[in-house]
Amino acid sequence: MNRMDGTLRALAERFTGLLGADAVITDPVRLRTYECDGLTAHRAVPGLVVLPGTAEQIAEIVRACAAAGVPYVARGSGTGLSGGALPRTDGVLIVTSRMRRILEIDIPNQRAVVEPGVINLDVTRAVRPHGYYFAPDPSSQQICSVGGNVAENSGGAHCLKYGFTAHHVLACEVVTPDGEIVTLRAGDPGYDLLGAFVGAEGTLGIATKITVRLTRLPETVRTLLAAFDTIEAGGAAVSAIIAAGVVPAAIEMMDALSIEAAEAAVGCGYPPGAGAVLIVELDGPAAEVEHQFAEVERLCREAGAFEIRIAADDAERALIWKGRKSAFAAVGRISPAYIVQDGVIPRTALPEVLARIDELSAETGVRVANVFHAGDGNLHPLVLFDDAVPGAAERAEEVSGAILDLCIEHGGSITGEHGVGVDKARYMPRMFTETDLDTMQMVRCGFDPAGLCNPGKVFPTPRLCGEVPGVRKGVHPLVAQGKAEQF
């Protein structure tokens, strides 16, 4: 038994007194349930799991961790795709699944106040009778939590028009790494700490109460599916639509391989022989949408669409979306294993980058299926491999990394919506300079100088915060060990 085990045992005892025995998990078998989030490639059995029910309890837990120097990680539904909620074996996992109350629905102010464990789609379900919805719609919206959305600044297919979680969060009550409860509110005087907090991947504190903006349900929604011979033709249609001044609610594209997978999995019945399909959805006031929809249809035809299907009702719309929404899982039908990549490029670079991905695939023999939010250049290449073949996973990983390099080379980003987490921290230096990363970590140091709040995420190298000026002698031990850099 080392010291850490003793510390965790003491914390478990303390938390049992605070939360009750049913809210503290120490049993190794049950702890294993929490060893990973939606990205199963990274696993770590948490030292201890707690299931608090209130902000005050979380504050107490955080204070106890801070006093003991024990790291902690917050987790919502565990659907993240970058290992942002990967636990620490030497730490506490704070799970918000018991904080699922919608506290207030305030239609006159177009907002709702929810606890962090509330499921994304449940917000929409609760406010739809009033004619409203919660706009961020990550594909996991049936199970992901609003707290997780805040941490990851989640997007979704419709963020092209409606923006990300950051645009739909008006306030967060936060337990800071000091264990204080503060409310960060857009519009309050002072720094926009809310703006920094949303999307910080849980490294600046834990959201315990979230005020979200509600969006009026659109009067009309129109959806079409257009099939093209080639991905280039589909890309040209996207460019033409954007150039015409149309801002669709969503534009999604799938290539032949991902269509094949979706067909095998859900029989979505997309036009046979398509090299690419495009899903375009417009929403808004009827008079606007009808006009622009006709234009989108025309532009698709001009770009060479050989078939266009228009959804006549919600059922047909669901059918059009079915293939796209099942694409990730469907790839399992045509490949034993795969990596879901998430990169972004300027939309105009789409044809070139896709051609380069094709070349990469041909050179390495690794198949890549492409599914993307074409409107904002967010690619989700699915890199296929057979995990029974020795070395295949490594080759797939290499191709996946090379795709990120392509994104960076074209002025894009290593992640559009899945986050950096543990998975991509090592890629951050390819996109940002040492000074860029150091500057971001100054915010981290302001919030969490001890570095206990979800450590090891986002940044490849922790920054020493130097919160004890004048007393440091010689080289910091972490620097000496090569684990940290000092600025």
Partner 1 sequence: MQPVDALAKVCADVRPGEPEEGVLGVVPRWVAAPSDVSEAAEVMRVAAEHGLAVVPRGGETRLDWGLPPRRCDLLVDTARLDRVVEHAAGDLVVTVQAGLPMRRLAEAVAERGQRLSLDVPLAGSTVGGTIATGAAGPLRLLYGTPRDLIIGVTIVRADGRVARSGGKVVKNVAGYDLGRLLCGSYGTLGLIVEATFRLHPLPAACAYVTAPAGDDAEGASEAVQAVLHSSVVPSALQCWTSPGRGIALGVLLEGVPDGVAARASHVAGLLGDKATFSEEPPEGWGAYPDGTTLIDVSAPPASLRDLLGALPAEAACTWSAAGRGYVGLPPEMTAEDVARALEKLRGALAPHHGGAVVCYAPEEVREAVDLWGPVPALSLMRRVKDQFDPDHRLSPGRFVGGI
Judged by CB under 8 A, the chain residues 334 through 363 that form the site for partner 1 are 344-348
Q: Which stretch binds partner 1 (CB under 8 A): 22-30, 33-41, 135-143, 182-190?
A: 182-190
- 444: contact with partner 1 by CB under 8 A: yes
Residue choice 291, 298, 426, 472 for contact with partner 1 (CB under 8 A): 291
Q: Which stretch binds partner 1 (CB under 8 A): 58-66, 327-335, 381-389, 435-443?
A: 435-443
Binding mask 227-266 for partner 1 (x = CB under 8 A): ------------x--xx-xxx-------------------
- 191: contact with partner 1 by CB under 8 A: yes
How far is Cα 48 from Cα 29, in angstroms, rounded to an integer? 12
Full strand arrangement of the beta sheet holding 92-95: 24-25, 48-50, 92-95, 72-75
Residues 79-108 close enough to bind partner 1 by CB under 8 A: 106-108
Name the residue nearer to partner 1 (CB basis): 158 or 367: 158
Q: Shortest approach of partner 1 to residue 167 CB, angstroms? A: 5
8 Å CB contact between 385 and 416:
no
Residue choice 192, 314, 359, 409 for contact with partner 1 (CB under 8 A): 192
Single out the residue of 340, 279, 284 nearest to residue 310, CA to CA: 279
Q: Shortest approach of partner 1 to residue 365 CB, angstroms? A: 29
Q: Is the dihedral of CA 245, 251, 255, 260 positive or negative?
A: negative
Q: Which stretch binds partner 1 (CB under 8 A): 159-167, 227-235, 380-388, 473-481?
A: 159-167
Residue choice 46, 80, 323, 377 for contact with partner 1 (CB under 8 A): 377
Name the residue nearer to partner 1 (CB basis): 46 or 377: 377
Q: Which stretch binds partner 1 (CB under 8 A): 136-144, 278-286, 323-331, 351-359?
A: 278-286
End-to-end CA distance of the chain: 37
Q: What is the largest CA-CA distance in the chain?
A: 72
- 412: contact with partner 1 by CB under 8 A: yes
8 Å CB contact between 72 and 59:
no
Name the residue nearer to partner 1 (CB basis): 15 or 427: 427
Q: What is the residue whose two structure tokens read 């290992």?
A: 83
Q: Which stretch binds partner 1 (CB under 8 A): 67-75, 91-99, 319-327, 432-440?
A: 432-440
Q: How many CB atoms lie within 10 A of CB 337?
A: 16
Q: Which stretch binds partner 1 (CB under 8 A): 118-126, 329-337, 370-378, 380-388?
A: 370-378
Name the residue nearer to partner 1 (CB basis): 268 or 420: 420
- 196: contact with partner 1 by CB under 8 A: yes
Q: Which stretch binds partner 1 (CB under 8 A): 22-30, 68-76, 175-183, 256-264?
A: 175-183
Residue choice 45, 105, 393, 440 for contact with partner 1 (CB under 8 A): 440
Residue choice 15, 34, 133, 164 for contact with partner 1 (CB under 8 A): 164
Q: How many CB atoms lie within 10 A of CB 468?
A: 8
Residues touching partner 1: how many (CB under 8 A)? Answer: 89
Single out the residue of 362, 354, 371 nearest to residue 406, CA to CA: 354
Name the residue nearer to partner 1 (CB basis): 169 or 274: 169
How far is Cα 80 from Cα 251, in angstroms, rounded to an integer? 23
Q: Which stretch binds partner 1 (CB under 8 A): 43-51, 141-149, 256-264, 413-421?
A: 413-421
CA 377 to chain centre: 16
8 Å CB contact between 310 and 297:
yes
Q: Shortest approach of partner 1 to residue 21 CB, angstroms? A: 34
- Sequence-distant (6+) residues with CB within 8 A of 147 are 74, 76, 96, 99, 115, 116, 117, 118, 206, 207, 210
- 190: contact with partner 1 by CB under 8 A: yes
Single out the residue of 140, 135, 127, 98 nearest to residue 115, CA to CA: 98
Name the residue nearer to partner 1 (CB basis): 89 or 239: 239
Residue 177, classified by CB atoms within 10 Å of its CB into exposed (0-12), middle (13-18) or buried (19+), is: buried
Residues 111-150 close enough to bind partner 1 by CB under 8 A: 111, 131
Q: Helices marked H in 20-107 — which ranges?
A: 28-32, 55-68
Q: Which stretch binds partner 1 (CB under 8 A): 49-57, 279-287, 297-305, 389-397?
A: 279-287
CA 74 to chain centre: 15
Please, what is the angle between helix 231-243 and helix 350-364, to 10°?
160
- 33: contact with partner 1 by CB under 8 A: no
Full strand arrangement of the beta sheet holding 181-185: 102-106, 111-114, 206-213, 169-175, 181-185
CA 386 to chain centre: 26
Residue choice 366, 417, 455, 456 for contact with partner 1 (CB under 8 A): 417
How far is Cα 407 from Cα 429, in angstroms, rounded to an integer? 14
Q: What is the DSSP letter of 394?
A: H
8 Å CB contact between 194 and 169:
yes
Q: Shortest approach of partner 1 to residue 377 CB, angstroms? A: 6
3-state secondary structure of 313: coil
- 411: contact with partner 1 by CB under 8 A: yes
Name the residue nearer to partner 1 (CB basis): 46 or 199: 199
Name the residue nearer to partner 1 (CB basis): 367 or 373: 373
